[in-house]
Amino acid sequence: MSRPYLMIPGPIEFTDEVMSEMSRPTPSHVDPAFIEVFGQALERLRTVFLAGPDYQPFILAGSGTLAMDSAVANLVEPGDRALVVDTGYFSQRMADIVQRYGGEVTLLSAAPGETITPEQLRAALAEDACDLVTITHVDTSTGVLTDVKGLSAVAKEQDALVIVDGVCAAAAEEMRQEAWGVDVYLTASQKAIGTPPGLGLLVASPAALAKWRGRKHPVGSYYSDWGYWLPIMQAYEARKVGYFGTPAVNLVMALNVSLQQILDEGMEQVFARHVLLSNAVKAGLAAMGMTQLPADMAHAAHTLSCPCYPEGIDAGFLRFVRAEGAILAGGLHPVVKSKYFRIGHMGAASRADVLTALGAVEAGLRQAGYAVEPGVGLAAAQAVLA
Ligand code: PMP
């Protein structure tokens, strides 16, 4: 490829089949062929999240932040108590959104690069009963993976609703929405889901819908109100015409293709491929002498890696990496921002892609003046892939 490869933690590189949907003539949003596509996309989203037929998918025009807003605006009423499992930058955004809709937030915060265990959550909830627990599946700022299954089980001991931000995890990290008792799993199109930016995606459980139906106060956001969107999603799934706001037609067509590509691979294979690629990247980085965030690989994400700059190297080295063929991201967590960079390896990412990224990092490091033995990172990664 003549252009550098985009390997940040989203947006990612999209498949040719997805991109060709983006360039097709835009049909009417009430064209029967488009209604069929939208209906399929809703069904496929539910399947990708491993949720049952009574779970309600929503496909909205907007980014991942809109999906967060949609979940919270509809499920939080003034005075509701929410415990926010805080593993970094995006958990804090969730706390802000809950407060904006009148919820009372208790933050259960981990240090940057650390996680929160189910035992810690149980202790926090024993002190402070909550109506709602929010969890960030993968914190994109530090590469921390949370134990959604364990945390969610603890929240259910108290009948709390569970909202999980899966923006940097959905369709990559293991997630069994129904089996794990997750009431809302939400994401955005531009990461492992594999569609250009512009769609907020969420699937709500029957308990979440019941909580919304029983609200005493109107939903505080006009655009996010499920009262407008639920009939539209139900209409498309029933292959009927519905209109509230014009859907992002080409993005929905592209989404339908990417969801089918994910399902063709199979969810278990998708989860396993992300583990394998992540292990290869992390082994390659370690072999080049770099430490990583999180320090404990037991709670490291498989969608991205967060290597710390070696002594004497800073973010300036990323321009050498780019010239060598890979666009990577700098640090994001305000407390440790200048100490690390980030490599995304999710969605359609392949073995060849992660080797490209590692090769570019190695060449970039040498150009920045850091002595690294040629091929040492690639050899370690290849050993994992073999
Ligand atoms: N949550 C997480 C975990 C994210 O990584 C992001 C985006 N990087 C968001 C929420 C917000 O998504 P968006 O930028 O699409 O609004």
| CATH number of the domain to which 50 belongs | 3.40.640.10
* 247, 265, 283 - which closes a domain: 265
CA separation for the pair 284, 355 (Å, rounded): 9
Q: Residues 168-183: pLDDT tens digits?
A: 999 999 999 999 999 9
Beta bridge partners of 58: 202
CB of 168 closer than 8 Å to CB of 332: no
The atom number, within ligand 1, closest to the CA of 188 reads 15
Among the three residues 242, 265, 288, which one is the final residue of a domain in this structure? 265
Task: Say if residue 76 is in the same domain as residue 212.
Answer: yes
pLDDT tens digits along 112-125: 999 999 999 999 99
Q: How far apart are CA 9 and CA 324, in angstroms?
A: 19
> Which amino acid is present at 261?
Q
* For ligand 1, atom 6: residue with the closest CA: 167
Any idea of the CA torsion for 305, 266, 6, 291, to the nearest 10 degrees? 10
Counting residues of the chain whose pLDDT is more than 70, the rounded percentage is 100
If asked whether residues 25 and 72 sit together in one domain, one would say yes
User: Which of 66, 140, 189 is the pocket-test mutation for ligand 1 (most atoms within 8 Å of CB)?
Assistant: 140
130 and 115 both lie in a single domain: yes
Minimal CA–CA distance to 211: which of 160, 158, 152? 160
- The residue count of the chain comes to 386
CATH of the domain at 309: 3.90.1150.10
Do 107 and 68 share a structural domain?
A: yes
- Do 217 and 351 lie in one domain? The reply is no
Give the Å distance between the CA of 333 and the centre of ligand 1.
13
Whether the CB-CB separation of 265 and 273 falls below 8 Å is answered with: yes
Q: Which residues contact 258 (CB under 8 A, 6 or more apart)?
A: 14, 15, 18, 193, 194, 195
Residues contacting ligand 1 via CB (< 6 Å): 10, 63-65, 90, 136, 140, 165, 167-168, 188
Identify the bridge partners of residue 304 per DSSP, sorted by sequence position.
344
- Helices 64-75/226-237 angle, 10° precision: 110
Domain shared by 208 and 97, yes or no: yes
Give the confidence band of 1 by pLDDT, cuts at 50, 70, 90: low
**pTM summary value:** 0.98
Indicate the range of 1-5, 70-74, 237-241, 354-358 predicted with least confidence: 1-5
Q: Which helix (H) or strand (E) holds 136?
A: strand 132-136
The amino acid occupying position 65 is: T
Q: Are residues 235 and 129 in the same domain?
A: yes
CB 173 within 8 A of CB 145: yes
With tokens 């709500």, the residue in question is: 204
Q: Domain ends where: 265, 299, 322?
A: 265
Nearest-5° Cα angle at 378, 373 to 382: 140
User: Is the same domain home to 107 and 244?
Assistant: yes
* Of 12, 60, 65, best ligand 1 pocket probe by most atoms within 8 Å of the beta carbon: 65
- The reply to whether 275 and 256 lie within a common domain is no
Question: Is 188 in a helix, a strand, or coil?
Answer: strand
Its domain, for residue 372, covers 5-10+266-385
For the chain, how many structural domains are there in total? Answer: 2
Residue nearest to atom 2 of ligand 1 (CA): 167
Three-class DSSP category at 367: helix
The answer to whether residues 246 and 102 belong to one domain is yes
- The gap between the terminal CA atoms of the chain, to the nearest Å, is 24
User: Mean of the per-residue pLDDT values for the chain?
Assistant: 97
Q: What is the CA radius of gyration of the chain?
A: 21
For residue range 12-23, what is the model confidence (pLDDT) as tens digits? 999 999 999 999
Q: CA geometry: angle at 42 spanning 38 and 44, to 5°?
A: 110
Whether residues 62 and 127 fall in one domain: yes
Helix (H) or strand (E) holding 150: helix 148-157
Do residue 159 and residue 146 come from a single domain?
yes
